[in-house]
Amino acid sequence: MMRYVFGTLALVALGACTTTVPDSAAGVGFGDYSAYQRELAAREAELNGQALPSASAVSSETLSPAGAPNSTEAERLASDTTAALNSGDAPLNASPSNPAPEVALNAAGISDENDFGNVSSLRSIEGDKARIEQNRAQYQVVTPTALPSRNGAEGPNIVAYALQTRHSVGQPVYKRLFAASEKRALRNCAAYASDDQAQTAFLAKGGPERDRLGLDPDGDGYACRWDPTPFRAYSGG
Q: Is the pLDDT of residue 209 over 60?
A: yes
User: pLDDT at position 75, please?
Assistant: 76
Q: Would you say residue 203 lies in a domain?
A: yes
Q: Would you say residue 94 lies in a domain?
A: no
Count of CB atoms situated within 10 Å of the CB of 224: 23
Q: Is the pLDDT of residue 77 over 70?
A: yes
Task: Quote the percentage of the chain above a pLDDT of 90.
Answer: 25
Q: How far is the first Cα of the chain from the last one, in angstroms, to the nearest whole number? A: 130
Higher local confidence (pLDDT), 130 or 10: 130
Q: Would you say residue 147 lies in a domain?
A: no
Higher local confidence (pLDDT), 43 or 218: 218
User: pLDDT at position 188, please?
Assistant: 92
Q: Is the pLDDT of residue 104 over 50?
A: no
Distance CA 163, CA 226 (A): 14
Burial of 121 (0-12, 13-18, 19+ CB in 10 A): exposed
Q: Provide CB contacts within 8 A for 188, sequence distance 6+.
A: 180, 213, 214, 215
Q: Would you say residue 228 lies in a domain?
A: yes
DSSP 8-state symbol, 54: P
CB of 179 closer than 8 Å to CB of 131: no
Taken as a whole, the chain contains a residue count of: 237
Higher local confidence (pLDDT), 215 or 179: 215
CB of 81 closer than 8 Å to CB of 52: yes
Q: Would you say residue 186 lies in a domain?
A: yes
Q: Would you say residue 224 lies in a domain?
A: yes
User: pLDDT at position 5, please?
Assistant: 47
DSSP letters spanning 8-40? HHHHHHHHHHPPPPP-GGG-SSSSSHHHHHHHH
What is the tally of structural domains in the chain?
A: 1
Choice among 123-127, 130-134, 187-191 with the minimum mean pLDDT: 123-127
pTM more than 0.95 = no
User: pLDDT at position 39, please?
Assistant: 78
